[in-house]
Amino acid sequence: MNNLTKTLARRQGAPVADDAPRERDGGPRTLRRGLHILGALRRAGSAGLHVTEIAEQTGMQRSTVYRFLDVLVDEGYALRDGDKPRYRVLQTDADSGDPHEQAIRRWRPAMRRISDAIGDSVFLICRAGDDSLCLHREIGNYPVQVLTVTVGHRQPLGVGAAGLALLAALPPAEAADIIARNETACRTYGGLTATHIRRLVESTRDRGWSVIGNTAVPGALGVGMAWCDAEGYPRLAISLSTLIDRMPAARQRTIAEVLRAELTRR
């Protein structure tokens, strides 16, 4: 039973690994219902669907749909549009496949150009619920590389440069809710407090790009920038990290210009 099946099953109150006979009945049925919702979102494309529309298309109660959507958002399969009860998949394509793989294929060339130009490692990050999720990284050519996160790593939004960029690009009310929910978790990253994160978010909004250091990895500093869709909602972020000594203010601005040039090409 994979992680998505287990998570969906737990949310629905179905047994997971300790009750094999019932699992064969409840687990697949629970997964199938979640996949029906995901399929409806994929068919809707970039427009997404309101919870009421999902309920109508799948024949489920709205309360049930909400529970499944919570799981899909937490696991990075679906995204909520701001504070509206409207959801969509990360990306949609005629030959869709895994939306995360699509994002990697789309952004890898830009990441490679950024890394070659700057010399440091570059990270592609998406949102997964209240966390940031690392989808891909490109290693730079400078002798010392700071690999702040590995592919598949999750941490609270606002801890890393890309996650901070995503958080700052969200509607203010949505960002405030996330900061409040992540307050306890963020303290394990260099003692980050909600007050500190709110100040970082405001600075990022004023500046147009994020800067954060000495949190997830002591002695490292990252610069990040979010990419928003046609409606202005943040979907992905790209960040670059290195040693603090390699990040004077002038170089931070240079990196931000390189990031902006690549992100605005899309």
Model pLDDT, residue 258? 96
Record the pTM.
0.66
User: Would you call 6 exposed, middle or buried from its count of C-beta atoms within 10 A (0-12, 13-18, 19+)?
Assistant: middle
Pair 42, 34: CB distance under 8 Å: no
Give the domains, in start order, of the chain with CATH numbers: 3-89 (1.10.10.10), 99-263 (3.30.450.40)
Each residue's pLDDT tens digit in the chain (266 positions)? 445 444 544 444 444 444 334 444 567 888 888 999 998 998 887 778 999 999 999 999 999 999 999 888 877 788 887 667 888 886 544 445 578 888 898 999 999 999 999 999 999 999 988 999 999 999 999 999 988 888 889 999 999 999 999 999 999 999 999 999 999 999 999 889 999 999 999 999 999 999 999 887 888 999 999 999 888 999 999 999 999 999 999 999 999 999 999 999 86
Model pLDDT, residue 90? 66
> Computed over its alpha carbons, how large is the radius of gyration of the chain?
19
Distance CA 113, CA 103 (A): 16
**Strands 49-50, 210-213: pairing kind:** unpaired
Model pLDDT, residue 170? 96
